[in-house]
């Protein structure tokens, strides 16, 4: 099966909410490095973490994450 690359708008959503990486990390219970890697597209978060990020940034899941090449 073909592996799908994921893209995201986490950084934009975070900045819109006025959060630092550290603050966002604290809100969703991960490290700042994890947020940094997600924003850089170097780490694919679990669905649970995706949902938490969507919740704290007041975005829907598909506004934050999508499959590469589909937008």
Task: Give the residues lining the site for another protein (CB under 8 A).
Answer: 29-31, 33-34, 37, 43, 45-46, 48-49
Give the side-chain half-sphere CA count within 13 A for 24: 28
We find the least distance from the C-beta atom of residue 44 to another protein, in angstroms, to be 10
Tokens representing 12 are 């934009």
Least spacing, CB of residue 30 vs another protein, in Å: 4
Instruction: Using the minimum distance from each CB to another protein, give the nearer residue, 18 or 29.
Output: 29
Cα dihedral 53/31/13/16 (nearest 10): 130
- Residue closer to another protein (CB basis): 13 or 25: 25
């Amino acid at each position: 099966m073909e592996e799908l690359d994921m893209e995201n708008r986490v950084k934009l959503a975070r900045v819109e909410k006025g959060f630092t990486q550290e603050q966002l990390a604290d809100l969703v219970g991960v490290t700042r490095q994890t947020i940094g890697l997600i924003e850089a597209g170097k780490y694919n978060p679990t669905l649970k973490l995706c949902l938490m990020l969507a919740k704290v940034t007041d975005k829907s899941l598909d506004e934050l994450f999508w499959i590469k090449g589909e937008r």
